[in-house]
Structure 1
Amino acid sequence: MKVQFGCAPINWTNDDLPSLGGELTYQQCLSEMALAGYKGSEGGCKYPKDFDVLKKALDLRGLQICNMWFSSFFTTFENERTFAEFEKHMDFTYGLGARVIGVGECGVTVHGQEETPLFSNCPILTEEQMKNLAEGLNELGRRAQKKGMKVCFHPHVGTGIQSLDEIDRLMKLTDPALVGLLFDTGHSTIAGEDPVEILKKYIGRVAHIHVKDVRSEVFEQVKSGGHSFLWGVKNGMFTVPGDGNCVDWMSIFEILKTSDYEGWIVVEAEQDPAKADPLEYAQKARAFMREQLGV
């Protein structure tokens, strides 16, 4: 397999709830990623915004940025704002090693609202919103292509694109040459879908992968108790591959082993670091994937 393994700093400090792990430094985060055997990192809210400072910190630890979340606002029709920010985002991340840009739609999302019940408030996009999102993503894809990069869209619970039906609609409206898919095992599961089915259907368009598992007992509490997405995160809804009880990893890995996928596989299991030591869980995930994938 021609894959590389990365880790997300959200396992140390949460981007949507920075107080979760707020006491941890970005230096500790990067050092522990490297110690656990990863070669790449996603972006994070704690990371320096100064290019030279972040590049030096990465180089010291033998790391690179493999992807950095980009927020689009096409569902609120803020196209020009999105395009302008995207240009700056591309330049910054390209210089740090990234060749993909994971785009998440944040115009009408509820996933970052700590008090908003997730499942009763998931936005449903209008045809006009979906069309503008697709056209906007195609334009981002054209701009990224000129830079030697690839846009991959991240279906994420609470954003309006989470179910397989919603993914299908967006994939049909976007150009496969311009817009790939960021496959996330955890968000597929929380959306009530089988991630194996999604990966099997779209492996040809997958340009980046996030791996995490789900603890079913917490997931059920989120649904039955009318809790927010961030309530679930704080209470351990997500965990790393090899620790949860929802994702069929053997089937996921079998699809990857028989595919031509050559990108990054990134551990992104946001938890409360006071309850789940990020280094311990990063090591556990890396050992599990090395054992199952042989790399």
Structure 2
Amino acid sequence: MLDKKKVKLGIAPIGWTNDDMPDLGKENTFEQCVSEMALAGFTGSEIGGKYPKDKEVLKKALELRGIEICNCWFSTFLLTKPYEEVEEEFLKQARFLKDMGARVIGVSEQSYSIQGKDVPVFEEKYVMDDGEWNTLTEGLNRLGRAAKEIGMTLTYHHHMGTVIQTEEEIDRFMQSVDPEAVFLLFDSGHCSFAGISPVKIFEKYTERTRHIHLKDLRLDVVKRAKAEKWSFLQGVRNGTFTVPGDGDVDFEPIFNLIESKGYEGYVVVEAEQDPALANPLEYALKARKYIAEKTGL
């Protein structure tokens, strides 16, 4: 059983509205989203595109429902934009998150990313050369140190279709960045989708993990995605991902590692699906029930 004093449970709004494909969940409002999060028993949320930009408006809406902000996605373009430009936007987002009570900011390098493009996700991924590796890791080290100065922690989100996707890339990345400045955002679904054992990665880097995405995967859909050369987003539309307990990822070893290695922080259900096919409240309740049964949270 997990210690509620150490581990908090959140959910991402991407199950209600998808910022990468705005037609998915366009009918779902911010108020409906956070109300249903609370109704399902979650106390943490990441920030989505429909969330109010005004801190006071957002705080009031969340306080009414007993929810706090725990993270937000931030796209870096360290390979294709001047560092100073990236840092300015990064610190703006980090300060907003800190004001909302969050402790981490989730970063993903989006230079050359194909996650939003209509190309086969398993065949068109960009591979960095040594110079680009240095540019990326040094840039992230600088951002991580800047985040520390304002009391925030940079966590890096490995992601399908991006420059950090494979097991080899995750390992090289973790060996290259400053362990005091850059930490891991571990995602069970993106590991599984990339053909990596999520348990292997998490066991190796638990001590350097500061945020967790609990995402399940339907292997039969992944098989079709490979055979039919689907893009990442086409896979999402067709049900690649689902909530924990509804797919093929074995979460028990992950939960055991969270407990045995003393992880402290948020675990966040993040499972993008078409809300017209997977009712967000229904699946949030399903995830909440499964996690409660397995962890006691």
Is the structural similarity TM-score above 0.5? yes
C-alpha deviations, 1:237-281, integer Å up to 9, x for none? 100111002x12121111111011010000000000000011111
Task: Name 2:237's counterpart in structure 1.
Answer: 234
C-alpha deviations, 1:100-121, integer Å up to 9, x for none? 01101111101012x2221111
Query: What CA distance in whole angstroms lies between the structure 1 residues aligned with 2:67 and 2:82?
Result: 34
Task: Name 2:294's counterpart in structure 1.
Answer: 292
Query: What CA distance in whole angstroms lies between the structure 2 residues aligned with 1:180 and 1:45?
Result: 24
> What is the identity, as a one-letter code, of the residue corresponding to 2:295?
L
Task: Name 1:16's counterpart in structure 2.
Answer: 20
Among 250, 254, 263, the residue aligned to 2:265:
263
1:189 aligns with 2:205: no
> What is the identity, as a one-letter code, of the residue corresponding to 1:255?
L
Task: Name 2:34's counterpart in structure 1.
Answer: 30
TM-score, length basis structure 1: 0.97
1:173 aligns with 2:173: no
C-alpha deviations, 1:86-140, integer Å up to 9, x for none? 1110111111111001101111101012x22211111111111111111111111
What's the secondary structure of 1:204's corresponding residue?
helix
- 1:77, distance to aligned residue in structure 2 (A): 4.1
**Where do residues 1-295 of structure 1 align in structure 2 (5 Å cutoff)?**
1=3, 2-113=6-117, 115-245=118-248, 247-295=249-297
Query: What CA distance in whole angstroms lies between the structure 1 residues aligned with 2:259 and 2:283?
Result: 24
Query: What CA distance in whole angstroms lies between the structure 2 residues aligned with 1:75 and 1:229?
Result: 22
Identity of aligned residues (%): 53
Structure 2, unaligned runs of 5 or more: none
Q: Which runs of 4+ in 1 moved over 6 A?
A: none
Contact 1:76 1:129 (C-alpha < 8 Å) held by counterparts: no
What's the secondary structure of 2:69's corresponding residue?
strand
Query: What CA distance in whole angstroms lies between the structure 1 residues aligned with 2:13 and 2:7?
Result: 20
Query: What CA distance in whole angstroms lies between the structure 2 residues aligned with 1:151 and 1:28?
Result: 30
C-alpha deviations, 1:179-231, integer Å up to 9, x for none? 11000000001111000100010001000000011111111111110110000
TM-score, length basis structure 2: 0.97
- 1:75, distance to aligned residue in structure 2 (A): 2.2
Structure 1, unaligned runs of 5 or more: none
Query: What CA distance in whole angstroms lies between the structure 2 residues aligned with 1:162 and 1:75?
Result: 16
What's the secondary structure of 1:203's corresponding residue?
helix
Contact 1:77 1:132 (C-alpha < 8 Å) held by counterparts: no
Query: What CA distance in whole angstroms lies between the structure 2 residues aligned with 1:145 and 1:73?
Result: 20
